[in-house]
Amino acid sequence: MRVACIGECMVELSERPDGTLVQGFGGDTLNTALYLARLGVRVDYVTALGDDAWSDAMAAAWGREGIGLDRVRRLPGRMPGLYIIRTDAAGERSFHYWRDRAAARDLFTEPGAAETEAALAGYDLVYLSGISLSLYGETGRATLFGTLARLRDRGGRVAFDTNYRPRGWPDHDEARAAFRAALALADLIFASAEDLDWLFGAAGADEVLRHRGRAEIVLKASSGSGPVARVLHGTADTAVPAGPAVRVVDTTAAGDSFAAGYLAARIAGLAPEAAAGEAHRLAGAVIGHRGAVIPRDAMPAPAVRQPAPDA
C-alpha cells in the first residue's frame, strides 16, 4: 500500500503560559503523515520546501520519523511559512499565520509540477485536507483535482478531511466550490460538524451525506459525553463514541491524529466502526499532551499490525 499525504509544513511557535515561545514544525496533513508512519504505514509527504536551514531541519525531522521524502520538492530562494499557536485555559487553540510566500503554495505551478502530478497518480491512497486546498489557488487546485481523478481512474483512492480555516480563503464562495469538488472526488471523507456549519450553514451535513453509499464517511461531532464519530459505509450508519474522557491539555492535531488512526486501522483490515475506535484512542492520547506531536512512548499500541510492505 503506497500512501501519500499532500499539504504544507510550517515553522511552529507555541506560546507557553509564561509567554515564551517554543519552536517546532507542524501542519495538518504533516501531522497525519507522522502518525501514520508511527503506526507502521509506508507514507510519503508531498510538498515543497525552500533551500533554507528551517527547510533542511524539517526534512531531516520527517526522515527520522520514517516519512518518505522522495516527493518533497525544494525551491531555491524560498522558505516555509510560519504560525503561532495560542492555547486557552480550556485547551482550545488559535492559530496566527505568516505564509503568503511559502514554498508549498507553488507545488503545482513551479517547474517540477508535472513530475509531482505523475508521481501522485501512482499511489494507492492520497490524503489531503481543506487546508491543502487553500494553498494552491484555482490553477493549482485544477491541476490537483485532475491528478486525483486520474489516480481514481486507475483504481487508487482519495481521502479528504474537511479541516476548514476561513482565513485561508479569499472568498467564501471559492472555498465552497473547492470543497464540493474535493468531496465529489473523495472515496473516504472525514468531516466535522463545525467545519460544515462554517462552510455551508445549517444544511452543511447534507453536502457530505449526499455522497453516502458512494463514499465511506466519518462525520465527527461533540456530544454532552464527548466526541462521537458517525460512520457511514454502504447501508451502515453507526455512532462510535470516544470512550472514557481524558484530561484535555491541548487539542492541537486531534483531528489529524484521528484521521491517521482511522486510515492505519482500515489499511490493516479493520472494519470502519473498529477503525473509528482506534482513531478515538490515538486522538485521546494526543490531546493529553502539549503540541501536535506526542512522545513516542505515549503512543497507544495499535490493535493490529500493518501488512508486510510487499503484501
Q: What is the DSSP string of 252-291?
A: TTHHHHHHHHHHHHHHTT--HHHHHHHHHHHHHHHTTSSS
Taking the CA atoms of residue 28, residue 69, residue 43 and residue 212 in that order, the dihedral angle to the nearest 10 degrees is 50
Count of Cβ atoms closer than 10 Å to residue 131 Cβ: 18
Does the annotation count 51 as an active-site position?
no
User: Per the structure block, which three cell numbers stand in for 301?
Assistant: 499500541
The residue from 197, 256, 297, 310 that is catalytic is 256
Q: Which residues in the chain belong to E strands, given as ranges?
A: 3-6, 10-15, 21-26, 43-49, 72-74, 82-87, 93-98, 125-129, 157-161, 188-192, 216-223, 226-233, 236-241
Residues annotated catalytic, as ranges: 256
